[in-house]
């Protein structure tokens, strides 16, 4: 992936030899918050008031972390309030690029930059940071508000409610402790677990990661046998954080990241649950399976050195899910 070091692009990659073959994800470095009145959020500085047209989102349609933010932009009716640019699916020697394709990747409409690292350079010419998406950008101050997806979705969940009158709440205060417990397990063993398995460079690290991953999938399969959603009858952020990994599982992680004990479609409760979420209003258009398959297989030369992109599996995402009927019975 590379990174910026003192403002200069470097192709330096994380050395798994230093971590006994384990892939270790670094924390996001930009952690400000948009709030309804511009007051400071849990981290970062104040001054980021929710306002129509002020903020811009840079995303990859292949990236599960960025996908979360696109989903919340749809769910919370923010399409007319937060603008979006999509990077090209090929992430090569200079990282995410704004090369155009025949689809949704249509360049950088704010600055006409060629690569995402230039966004970070504009925010801080001396930045030392990984160059990741999503990037939530403030057009007024030319600053990065946040590149932490789990916090961006919480901003989108509530900060713009006074503008949109959309009061759906996927982070309800009375269940936050329980949601966080679910999030914690899913993040460490599943969302990030697929990467731990896929980028492992020792057999021990791979086996530990893939075992924990399928333990969690089995736990989820059982949990969803008696609950429509992870927390019961109501959708929460935990469901959407899980969905973006599930929807990529058979397409990419099963083969490319060697998570091949089972496929998603072999797990009836998880598979029906994923279809239900996919079929909800506005969600399908956030899922670009061509970008997903292309990105992982063409960009990860350490895993796929010949950059051969497989054909997509034939998956019927619109098959009736029957979740409500089955849980009720």
Question: Which CATH number belongs to the domain containing residue 181 in this structure?
Answer: 1.20.1050.10
Burial call 105-124: b when 16+ CB within 10 Å, e when fewer: bebbeeeebebbbbbbbbbe
Q: Which residue numbers are catalytic?
A: 63, 195
- The answer to whether 147 and 205 have CB atoms below 8 angstroms apart is no
DSSP-based three-state secondary structure for 323 = helix
pTM of the entire structure? 0.94
136 with 227, same domain: the answer is no
- How far CA 184 is from CA of 2, 176, 177, 192, 238, in Å, comes to 27, 12, 11, 11, 10
160 with 198, same domain: the answer is no
CB atoms inside a 10 Å sphere around CB 7: 14
Q: Per the structure, how many domains does the chain have?
A: 2
185 with 136, same domain: the answer is no
DSSP class of residue 31?
A: B
Q: For residue 288, with 0-12 CB atoms within 10 Å meaning exposed, 13-18 middle and 19 or more buried, which class applies?
A: buried
93 with 183, same domain: the answer is no
Residue 131: domain span: 3-164
84 with 122, same domain: the answer is yes
How far, in whole angstroms, is CA 313 from its chain's centroid? 21
287: left (phi over 0), alpha (psi -120 to 50) or beta: beta
196 with 125, same domain: the answer is no
103 with 198, same domain: the answer is no
Could you give the CA distance from residue 321 to residue 317 in angstroms, rounded to a whole number? Answer: 9
Could you give the CA distance from residue 170 to residue 230 in angstroms, rounded to a whole number? Answer: 12
Helix (H) or strand (E) holding 285: none
Question: Which CATH number belongs to the domain containing residue 39 in this structure?
Answer: 3.40.30.10
User: Of 136, 164, 192, which residue constitutes the final position of a domain?
Assistant: 164
158 with 12, same domain: the answer is yes
- How far CA 195 is from CA of 28, 139, 269, 289, in Å, comes to 16, 33, 24, 18
User: Of 164, 183, 208, which residue constitutes the final position of a domain?
Assistant: 164
The sign of the CA dihedral 314, 318, 321, 325 is: negative
Q: What is the pLDDT along the chain (329 residues), one digit of tens a residue?
A: 689 999 999 987 665 665 666 656 566 689 999 999 999 999 999 999 999 999 999 999 999 999 999 999 999 999 999 999 999 999 999 999 999 998 999 999 999 999 999 999 999 999 999 999 999 999 999 999 999 999 999 999 999 999 999 999 999 999 999 999 999 999 999 999 999 999 999 999 999 999 999 999 999 999 999 999 999 999 999 999 999 999 999 999 999 999 999 999 999 999 999 999 999 999 999 999 999 999 999 999 999 999 999 998 899 999 999 998 666 54
Could you give the CA distance from residue 214 to residue 266 in angstroms, rounded to a whole number? Answer: 12
203 with 126, same domain: the answer is no
- The answer to whether 109 and 130 have CB atoms below 8 angstroms apart is no
User: Of 164, 186, 215, which residue constitutes the final position of a domain?
Assistant: 164
**What is the pLDDT at residue 4?**
95
Could you give the CA distance from residue 276 to residue 317 in angstroms, rounded to a whole number? Answer: 9
143 with 183, same domain: the answer is no
Could you give the CA distance from residue 70 to residue 58 in angstroms, rounded to a whole number? Answer: 10
107 with 236, same domain: the answer is no
146 with 190, same domain: the answer is no
DSSP-based three-state secondary structure for 164 = helix
**What is the pLDDT at residue 329?**
47
């Amino acid at each position: 992936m590379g990174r910026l070091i003192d403002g200069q692009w470097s192709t330096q990659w994380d050395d798994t030899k230093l971590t006994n073959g384990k892939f270790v994800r670094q924390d996001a470095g930009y952690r400000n918050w948009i709030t309804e009145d511009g007051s400071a959020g849990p981290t970062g500085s104040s001054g980021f008031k929710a306002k129509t047209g002020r903020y811009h989102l840079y995303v990859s349609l292949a990236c599960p972390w960025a996908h979360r933010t696109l989903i919340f932009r749809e769910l919370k009716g923010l399409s007319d309030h937060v603008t979006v640019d999509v990077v090209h699916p090929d992430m090569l020697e200079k990282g995410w690029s704004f090369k155009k394709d025949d689809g949704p990747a249509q360049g950088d409409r704010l600055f006409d930059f060629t690569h995402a690292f230039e966004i970070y350079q504009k925010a801080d010419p001396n930045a030392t940071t990984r160059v990741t998406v999503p990037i939530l950008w403030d057009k007024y101050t030319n600053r990065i508000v946040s590149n932490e997806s789990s916090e961006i979705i919480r901003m989108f969940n509530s900060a713009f409610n006074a503008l949109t009158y959309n009061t759906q709440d996927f982070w309800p205060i009375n269940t936050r402790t329980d949601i966080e417990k679910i999030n914690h397990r899913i993040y460490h063993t599943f969302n990030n677990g697929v990467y731990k398995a896929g980028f492992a460079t020792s057999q021990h690290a791979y086996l530990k990661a893939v075992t924990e991953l399928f333990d969690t999938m089995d736990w989820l399969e059982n949990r969803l046998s008696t609950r429509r959603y992870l927390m019961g009858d109501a959708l929460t952020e935990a469901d959407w954080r899980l969905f973006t990994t599930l929807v990529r599982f058979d397409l990419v992680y099963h083969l490319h990241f060697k998570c091949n004990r089972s496929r998603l479609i072999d797990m009836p409760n998880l598979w029906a649950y994923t279809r239900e979420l996919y079929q909800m209003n506005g969600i399908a258009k956030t899922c670009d399976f061509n970008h997903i398959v292309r990105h992982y297989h063409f960009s990860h030369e350490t895993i796929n050195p010949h950059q051969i992109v497989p054909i997509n599996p034939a998956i019927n995402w619109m098959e009736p899910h029957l979740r409500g009927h089955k849980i009720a019975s």
